[in-house]
Amino acid sequence: MKTALVLAAGGVAGSIEAGAMHEVLQKITPDFIIGSSIGSLNAALYASGNSTEELMNFWANASRRQLLPINPEIFYKFHKASSIFSNRGVHSMLKKNLKVTTFEECHTPIYVSATELRTGKEQYFHSGALIPALLASTAIPPILPPYKIGSTVYLDGGLTNYIGTQKALELGAKRIIVINARYSDEKINIHNLIDLSHHSYSMLKYQALKRELELCNGVQLIEIHSKLGPHVNLISFKNSEELIKEGRKVARAALKHHG
């Protein structure tokens, strides 16, 4: 049975995905992996040769200062700055932790989504250099800057493909495993631009989730969901170890439910 592992977008959901991947990949070997935004990073880190233990350790030790340094443009361009944070941190992390440099070298095929800035069209990368595709897939406004590949400027893949189940179906998957951190519907306290961006993105994700899962009639769908409460910030890594444990717990429950 052709199996797709689909890793959703969602900031610190990367920690939950890593924990869930550890449980899933001990039992199921996917034919390919689809990643959007933070999910694309996990897909590439794993498929390039990192174990799930290494992946969990990476997220347990991640910090905002390391991954998301302030973009100096905001000090002299102000509202005309391309983003709040620079993508230098993500770039450095990828150079350090990826064990191969191209899609073709990955031990499991991966598909990474991004969104064309000018047209809003989805784009999946499956060949060539990994790092440019990953920087495009994680370019979420206003947190990280748009990323140019060739003559095309890209934004975060989660804007058009929050999960990626439609791509899995197009590739012939008959079993789709979706790992997704679904944000809580509890009262949201919005104090600043980051909170507002977080809440807006969560609303987009919820609607995208409903639309994408409706497409999966006729295939075996294993949904691994976790509700992140409003105390978990989109770009804070303070709770990473707790979120990794949560990911492992919900994955074990989902796998048990599906036998």
Q: pTM (2 decimals)?
A: 0.90
Is the model's pLDDT at 69 over the cut of 70?
yes
Instruction: Compute the CA torsion angle 107, 42, 242, 163 (nearest 10 deg).
Output: -120
Is the model's pLDDT at 186 over the cut of 70?
no
pLDDT given at position 193? 74
Nearest Cα neighbor of 163 from 209, 124, 112 is 209
Residues 133 and 156: their CA atoms lie apart, in Å, by: 10
Count of residues in the chain? 259
pLDDT given at position 214? 80
Name, in order, each residue with C-beta under 8 angstroms of 247's C-beta and a sequence gap of 6 or more: 15, 16, 17, 18, 19, 20, 21, 22, 23, 179, 224, 226
- Work out the pLDDT band at 94, boundaries 50, 70, 90: very high
Digit-coded pLDDT (tens) for 116-157: 999 999 999 999 999 999 999 999 999 999 999 999 999 999
Is the model's pLDDT at 67 over the cut of 90?
yes
Digit-coded pLDDT (tens) for 204-243: 767 777 777 787 888 999 999 887 755 567 778 888 999 9
